[in-house]
Chain A
Amino acid sequence: MNDTTAPQVSLFVTCLADLMRPSVAFAALRLLEQAGCEVSVPTEQTCCGQPGYNSGEFASAIPLAKRTIELFEHAEYVVAPSGSCAGMIAHHYPRLLEGAWRERALALAEKTWELTSFLTDVVKLDTAPAHPTALPPITYHDSCAGLREMGVREQPRQLLKTLCDVEVAEMHQSDVCCGFGGTFCAKMPGISAQMADDKLASAAATEAAILTGGDLGCLLNLAGRARREGLAIEVRHVAEILSGDLYGPAIGEGDH
């Protein structure tokens, strides 16, 4: 494709998608292309610096923030299949940097989007992918950064409705943290597990077969806890569901 009017999107893959679940990034690629975007993937990208930043290791996060700015600031749009990485760029880079770098961070922030909100609010994707069978009931966890830093709430629900013809089975307190919190889950595993259990209990009460959300961090936490507790619920990233990629193992599931 070489359409000059097509939105030019640089995909921010996110390190968790890159390392743990590439299908999320491929799903994002497909969805963006379906929406008529011309997508590029800067291959020098690694990590947005969030682990260091949230641990208070600002000196570790700053060089990574500057690298990301350099790699992405020439894009028309930057899209990430993660509210928390998008939030890191849009919300926290300007806080972390000073002077001219801060200006560049602010300019980048302007054009940085979380995937589902980009698909609904910017390019207005409404062509349905082929879903040969009706989807099972799905419940949605609102990840904190996506919700509070990037304003993602209705967008994934709307996409699930229009693209997949599925209505989200809303869980109680879907907007309360699942206990992931980056290094928090490793520093305070007991509290984190309690929070994940609360979330999983809310999800189970909806009788949904799939628990989805827009952030791999939360989903890895929830899937890991569900596996530990022997719960049957499947955990998948919303981009995978939206792009029709539902047939491989869910997060944490084996290759049966």
Chain B
Amino acid sequence: MENHSELFYALSHDALSDGPEVKRRAAMAQFLPLMRDMAMDEFGAFEELRQHVKRVRQHTLDNLDYYLARFELEATNNGNQVHFASDGAELNSIVLDICQQHNARRVAKGKSMVTEETGLNHYLERGGLDVVETDLGEYIVQQAGETPSHIVGPALHKSRESIRDLFLEKHALGERELNEPADIVAEARRVLRETFLTADVGIIGANALVADTGYSMLVTNEGNGDLCANLPSVLIVCTTLDRLLPRGEDASAMQRLLVRSATGQPQTCYTSFYSGPRREDDSDGPLETHIVLLDNERTDILASDYREVLQCIRCGACMNHCPIFAAVGGHSYGSVYPGPVGSVLTPLLSSLEQAEALPNACTSCGRCAEVCPADIPLPDLLRDLRHDLSEQKVTPRRWRFGMRLHAFVAARPGLYRALTNLGFGLLARLGRKKGSFQHLPLAGGWTSARDFPAPQGKTFMAQYQARQAIDE
């Protein structure tokens, strides 16, 4: 997917004025946190498991070289071919090569954010392949020519009516009208079954890579991942190298947090471990399997002050709880990873200049960090990015200058009192009658959306010191 996070201001502005969408997003923002909270309450031991998983993730990242080597060895012993891709272009060309070696015509894809990151679908299509997304949400956005708006619910932004209209337009439906959700799902299933049976290559992502067995783990609710992995004769697993975990039990511990955080379920419907190609006595499975591990800035992030963001297990809870995500929707972020974690990742994957708006699209309310199962201090990381923006002079000069001026004055109490007594005294007199101002010079950002409440009167310090003087 192309990154256009520089459009955040424009896209979010448009999103805010789209009435029905605003309502739908508000409804989701009520519903998803509720599901998550209920699941966590029922589970009880959230904090212990969270700290455990965090330690495991940190340990793995600290020793990534070791676990990568181990994984590669075990996966190769299982009969997989393991590839490393330093950037998106390299991943795309490795995958296309494999498809071409097998004269593939059709590819069935399971849900994968990493291949969204690299823009794999378009690349394969340009290479002459027919690529079909098989996750229902992904299939819908693919049909609509859109991109996912959420890492767990890619079509969260679409209403049932719009999906029905889309199918009526794109599918040959004859008399059928798809009035019930079940009809819409059945229609998608009909098309996707056909895809599974005719695809030459299956491509899936991985939620975890298990170093000591060389297995990869994938969780889905629709089972489409398993069909992509087992029906076509060639399987390609595409993921990033930070998905590594030492042991199978670590993957299962992570999965318990992941699913509850994502959808409020105790389990997904399908959690599968893939070991490699079909063995002699197996009755099914792919004949050939590849695992492509993408770096794309991850090792740089690992070496930076932002390494904690690599603990992310892609549950989407931070976006479900972010009031800004709720207000503007995932597409406003203009990148594959929206919401709080996306606002950290996107600038690191692209550039501070391009993604300047994202670290600022945060009130530091802390709700994301409160729910993040990987215990990532997202508001702190976003603030650190603002620091980088300022250091590298990407922040507009007037902001940097304004803050410096404020600090200069605030460090000099005499000057501070003189200026504030004058300025706020004047404002208080001017505003006493009406109580607030509709316009105020130098406060245009504030007054463009709200009135500016007038100060009450003399400053506290002026009043307090006057009282002290009388008492003495």
A→B interface (CB under 8 Å) = 13, 15, 17-23, 25-26, 41, 43-47, 49, 51-61, 63-64, 67, 95, 144-145, 148-149, 172-173, 175-177, 179-196, 198, 220-221, 223-225, 227-228, 248-249, 251-255
Besides A20-B453, A189-B448, A251-B453, 17 other CB < 8 A contacts?
A18-B420, A22-B457, A22-B464, A44-B413, A52-B403, A56-B388, A57-B403, A57-B407, A185-B445, A186-B446, A189-B449, A191-B12, A195-B323, A195-B324, A224-B452, A254-B433, A255-B433
Query: When the two chains form the complex, which single residue of B362, B413, B446 contacts A181, counting CB atoms closer than 8 Å?
Result: B362
How close is A200's CB to chain B, nearest CB, in angstroms?
A: 11
Contact of B424 with A225 in the complex, beta carbons under 8 Å = no
Most buried by B among A53, A55, A59, A185: A55
Q: Report the bound CA distance from A85 to B255 in whole Å.
A: 38
User: Is A46 a contact of B416 with CB atoms below 8 Å?
Assistant: yes
Do A176 and B407 form a contact, CB below 8 Å, given A185-B446, A189-B448, A192-B449?
Answer: no
Q: Assess the B362–A56 pair: CB atoms within 8 A.
A: no
Q: How far is the CB of B346 from chain A (nearest CB, A)?
A: 17
Residue of A whose beta carbon sits closest to that of B414: A44
Q: A25-B460, A63-B407 are in contact. Are A176 and B420 (CB under 8 A)?
A: no
Kindly list chain B residues whose C-beta atoms are within 8 Å of the C-beta of A198: 26, 323, 327
Known contacts A52-B407, A56-B387: does B364 contact A182 (CB below 8 Å)? yes
Instruction: Say if the beta carbon of B13 comes within 8 Å of chain A.
Output: yes
Q: Are A22 and B416 in contact (CB under 8 A)?
A: no
Q: List 25 A-B contacts (CB under 8 A).
A: A17-B460, A23-B456, A43-B465, A46-B411, A49-B407, A52-B407, A55-B386, A55-B395, A55-B399, A55-B403, A56-B386, A144-B367, A148-B366, A173-B30, A177-B367, A179-B363, A194-B22, A198-B327, A220-B453, A224-B452, A225-B449, A225-B450, A252-B435, A252-B436, A255-B432
Bound-state Cα–Cα, A179 to B324, Å: 8
The smallest C-beta distance from B7 to any residue of chain A, in angstroms, reads 14
Within 8 A of A (CB), among B374-408: 380, 383-390, 395, 399-400, 403-404, 406-407
Report which of A144, A251, A253 forms a contact with B365, defined as CB distance below 8 A. Answer: A144
Binary contact readout B452-468 vs A (1 if CB under 8 angstroms, 0 otherwise): 11111111110111000
Number of A-B contacts (CB under 8 A): 213
Let me know if B411 and A190 touch, CB within 8 A. Answer: no
- Given contact pairs A177-B367, A191-B361, A224 touches B446 in the complex (Cβ within 8 A): yes
CB distance from B199 to the nearest CB of A (A): 42
5 residue pairs, one from A and one from B, having the closest CB atoms:
A181-B363, A56-B386, A186-B445, A224-B450, A254-B435
Assembly CA distance A119 to B453 (angstroms): 28
Q: A95 contacts B380, CB within 8 Å?
A: yes
* Cβ of B378 to closest chain A Cβ, rounded Å: 12
Any A CB within 8 A of the CB of B370: yes
Question: Which residue on B lies nearest to A221, using beta carbons?
Answer: B450
CA A53 to CA B384, docked complex, whole Å:
10
Nearest chain B residue, comparing its CB with the CB of A186: B445
Partner of A60, one of B12, B359, B406: B406
Enumerate B321-337 residues with CB–CB distance to A below 8 Å: 323-324, 327-328
Complex interface: chain A residues within 8 A of B9 (CB): 188
Q: How large is the interface on B (under 10, 10 to 19, 20 to 34, 35 or more residues)?
A: 35 or more
- Whether A56 contacts B395 by the Cβ 8 Å rule is yes
Contacting residues, chain A, for B359 (C-beta < 8 A): 56
Which B residues have a C-beta under 8 Å from some C-beta of A? Answer: 9, 12-13, 16, 22, 26, 30, 323-324, 327-328, 359-367, 369-370, 380, 383-390, 395, 399-400, 403-404, 406-407, 409-411, 413, 416, 420, 424, 432-436, 438, 443, 445-446, 448-461, 463-465
Contact A52 B406 (CB under 8 A): yes
Bound Cα distance from A83 to B446, whole angstroms: 22
Q: Which residues of A contact B464 (CB under 8 A)?
A: 22, 25, 41, 43
On whether the beta carbons of B323 and A179 are closer than 8 Å, the reply is: yes
Contact of B383 among A53, A179, A187, A225 (CB under 8 A): A53
What are the residues of chain A within 8 A of B12 when measuring CB–CB?
188, 190-191
How far does the Cβ of A152 sit from chain B's closest Cβ, in whole Å?
A: 13
Shortest C-beta distance, A185 to chain B (Å), equals: 6
Closest B residue to A199 by beta carbon equals B323
| A180 CA to B436 CA, complexed, in Å | 17
Most buried by B among A61, A95, A221, A252: A252
A19-B459, A176-B323 as given contacts; A227 in contact with B364, CB under 8 Å: no
- Contact of B456 with A60 in the complex, beta carbons under 8 Å: no
Q: Closest approach, in angstroms, between the C-beta of A181 and any C-beta of chain B?
A: 3
* Residues of B with C-beta under 8 A to A25: 460, 464
A145 to B386, CA, bound (A): 19
Q: Which residues of A contact B453 (CB under 8 A)?
A: 20, 220, 223-224, 227, 251-252
Closest to B391 in A: A56
Cα–Cα, bound, A59→B385 (Å): 14
In Å, the complex CA distance between A59 and B404 comes to: 8
B64 to chain A, nearest CB (A): 26
**Distance of B434 from chain A, by nearest CB (Å):** 5
CB-CB < 8 A to B420: which residues of A? 18-19
Chain A: minimal CB distance from B420 (Å): 6
Whether B455 pairs with A249 at a CB distance below 8 angstroms is no
